[in-house]
Structure 1
Amino acid sequence: MISVDEARDRILAALRPLPAETVGLSAGWNRVTAAPVAARLTQPPADVSAMDGYALRAADGGLGATLRVIGAAPAGHPFGGRVGAGETVRLFTGSVVPEGADAILLQEDATRDGDRVSVNEAVVAGRHIRRAGQDFSAGDIVVPAGRRLTARDIGLAAAANHPWLVVHRRARIAILATGDEISLPGEPIPPGGIVSSNSHALAALVRALGGEPVVLPVARDDEATIAATADQIHGMDMLVTTGGASVGDHDLVIKALRARGMTLDFWQIAMRPGKPLLFGQLGATPVLGLPGNPVSALVCAILFLLPAMARLGGLPAAAPPSMPAILGAALKANDHRADHLRATVSSDSQGRLVATPFPVQDSAMLRRLALADALILRAPHAPALPEGAEIRVIRLDSLGL
């Protein structure tokens, strides 16, 4: 068995970012930029007023001064002349500051009578003026490559005059559940059968990570049926299987896919939950085989599928981020496998993060995983720990999963 870190490194070493494609700006949310976005204009393009008021020369804006209004410049309609001594132009938020003016008299600090305006508060040169290029200038990189686009990024790209964006193609992930005992939700459940949850949970996870899941029909415990999967994954960027990768008589995934040309990189990891995990290559398609137990499948997906999809999507690929916490209940010494304990999270009186593991950690207890806020990380052969000990956790809620 290999370690969690070695398994992740070997998976990532086999993957490359997917090619780029061009999408409309409105379709860019949650996509990953494959090229930097450079501003196609300067914003603002000229000095503009940040407030409603009057443009004037600061030298003429002393308390009690009176100026003559020579025009108005609503936003989008710049004043064509020049502001001279004793003159002012009516402005609004976003109006271009006319030539000759270097100050703004706020509307609330002025009294107007016909074409005359009195100054009730002395102006300061440059105040309330947004300078040309204050936000960005033409040619500036406003969104870097390798960034998952937020709504804020979309707004910025739009302001930079980009109707199209160059992004990495979404990863197409084929998902195959195996097992005679599996029924789909809502179907009749035969004696000894179970309802399949893995395909649906993994499809949701793939969508959350920006990919496109393709859920294949359940493969029964038959080598020919599982092998036929190879005919259904053309155009897929990865095949993810669940179940059938352990050591039982009906665990046929490795044997069946090897018969169709899969090369096996590794099988079995020194971790809990999720020991029977495999990775290989079926032609040009990477194969990630997850355990059949639902908790094991999802924990392994968090540890391995998440960074794999990051690599395919053009993002930095690494282990899910962990953070320090305080242990909320004592733990026994660990064995030779890295452990990932499902836990709830709270804060103590000092504001420290407290992670309390569920007392039962069975890998079939999906409800516990759904209620968990974090995974407590325990290294192989970790010693017993008392309540209050320092630990590290992966916050599930911070992953958006």
Structure 2
Amino acid sequence: MTLVPVAEALTRLLDGVEPLPAESVALHEAHDRVLAEPVAALRTQPPFDASAMDGYATRAADVAAAPARLTVIGAAPAGRAFDGTVGPGQAVRVFTGAPLPAGADTIVIQENVRALGNGAIEVLEPTAAERNIRRAGLDFREGDLLLEKGRLLDPAALSLAASANHPRLEVVRRPLVAIIATGDELVAPGDALGPDQIISSNAYGVAAAAASVGATALDLGIAADRKEAIAALVRQAVAAGADVIVTLGGASVGDHDLVHDVLTGEGMTLDFWKIAMRPGKPLMFGRMGAIRCIGLPGNPVASLVCSQLFVKPLLAKLGGRPFAQDIRIAHLGAAMRENDRREDYVRAVVREDGGRLVATPFGIQDSSMLRKLADANGLIVRAPHAPAAAEGDTCPVLMLR
């Protein structure tokens, strides 16, 4: 059987993928969402000339030299303007954010003022015009474009949208990925184990990978090794509106590997099945109308490596997010033998040593060994038919954390 190269598999999997339709969400629900429409200011900020400090609003001509004596004629706390005009030799007590009183063109900070009693103050430091004043529109003006379409809404962007008077935002809908584990040998963590059973672990890692790119995961549980059991969960995923269905296990070539037959029976058109990579050879991909179907290998490490390489880029693109693998160049911390026709993703510990990265592969790379993956912070990428490499040779590394 011809194995599909990794790069080709990813290209085919992402072919035709566009961001999902927009939905309107309240501002407090918009964190870590992707803008589907640009955001323009609905108001000017600040909407008026305002004090930037606690102090006294006065005329710069009266405090160009110090000391200077002024008469306080009123106060302007934040949220309430002074109803009057500052004249020669006068000042108004102001607080940060308060409107600048008419006639004033500078703010003397309170640290530079001494109270004399009977409404009089002494200014101890000269203060130039325009000091400590925020003029109207300093931040933005009504109609200004503030946030571009496609912006990931971080805390600063959310605060800016709120300041511009947007209670709701149009964002790309979060992709929904339905996860179906398969296998009579699987039980959920904490359940009683039979003599020939193991814990189902892959779904938790796949769901976390989905969440890391802004998707929502729907774990539909474990299907027994029967076509009707798997088909029931596939139909449940379709009914839930899943954009992506991810199956775990059951996509290889054994008598109990039923996922391919079930998915095609439910309307999936197969695109490819089996790719030239290690771990992860049995990966399957197809389309069921608008739904993308990915059959991940049952081996835990293969499942999670394929999630990094294929599931995350797909979900990110559906969610309108930029996504790029963190590939760096490192030096091998141990020799590696020549590679065969499959692209290898080798678990390794990557550390900095003397200003360069050193990637040391684990000696055992069995795809059932989750602990090695949890201990690894990178995957050494070995091209198909790569020659033997010596310790110190350079190599590409896909950083995991």
- Change in 2 beyond 3 A, CA 1:130/1:393: farther
Q: Does 1:148 align with 2:152?
A: yes
Which residue number corresponds to residue 198 of structure 1? 202
Q: Does 1:252 align with 2:258?
A: yes
Q: Which one-letter code corresponds to 2:110 in the other structure?
A: Q
**Structure 2 portions without partners, runs of 5+:** none
Separation (CA, whole Å) in 2 of partners of 1:87 and 1:389:
76
Which residue number corresponds to residue 371 of structure 1? 375
3-state secondary structure, aligned to 2:285? strand
Which residue number corresponds to residue 221 of structure 1? 225
Which residue number corresponds to residue 334 of structure 1? 339
Which residue number corresponds to residue 106 of structure 1? 109
3-state secondary structure, aligned to 2:130? coil
TM superposition shift of 1:197:
0.6
Separation (CA, whole Å) in 1 of partners of 2:120 and 2:80:
22
TM superposition shift of 1:59:
1.9
1:63 to 44, 59, 66: 66
Please list the CA deviations of residues 194-232 of structure 1 after superposition, one character each: whole Å capped at 9, or x if unmatched.
Answer: 111112222232233322222224222233333344422
1:2 to 1, 4, 21: 4
TM-score normalised according to structure 1 size: 0.92
Check whether the contact 2:214–2:316 (CA below 8 A) recurs between aligned residues: no
For 1:56-205, what aligned pairs fall within 5 Å after superposition?
Answer: 56-61=58-63, 62-113=65-116, 114-205=118-209
Separation (CA, whole Å) in 2 of partners of 1:376 and 1:231:
38
Q: Which one-letter code corresponds to 2:350 in the other structure?
A: V
TM-score normalised according to structure 2 size: 0.92
- Change in 2 beyond 3 A, CA 1:375/1:139: farther
TM superposition shift of 1:138:
1.8
Please list the CA deviations of residues 81-110 of structure 1 after superposition, one character each: whole Å capped at 9, or x if unmatched.
Answer: 222322222111112222222222111112
Which residue number corresponds to residue 321 of structure 1? 326
2:280 to 274, 285, 288: 274
Structure 1 stretch 69-78 or stretch 145-154: which is displaced more? 145-154
TM superposition shift of 1:319:
4.2
Q: Which one-letter code corresponds to 2:392 in the other structure?
A: G
TM superposition shift of 1:153:
2.4
TM superposition shift of 1:299:
0.6
Q: Which one-letter code corresponds to 2:202 in the other structure?
A: N
Q: Which one-letter code corresponds to 2:179 in the other structure?
A: I
Check whether the contact 1:73–1:89 (CA below 8 A) recurs between aligned residues: yes
Structure 1 stretch 324-333 or stretch 11-20: which is displaced more? 324-333
Q: Percent identity?
A: 53
Separation (CA, whole Å) in 2 of partners of 1:129 and 1:349:
50
Please list the CA deviations of residues 311-349 of structure 1 after superposition, one character each: whole Å capped at 9, or x if unmatched.
Answer: 111223x54232333433333333222221222232223
Check whether the contact 1:303–1:319 (CA below 8 A) recurs between aligned residues: no
- Change in 2 beyond 3 A, CA 1:291/1:53: same
Separation (CA, whole Å) in 1 of partners of 2:348 and 2:135:
52
- Change in 2 beyond 3 A, CA 1:14/1:243: farther
**Structure 1 portions without partners, runs of 5+:** none
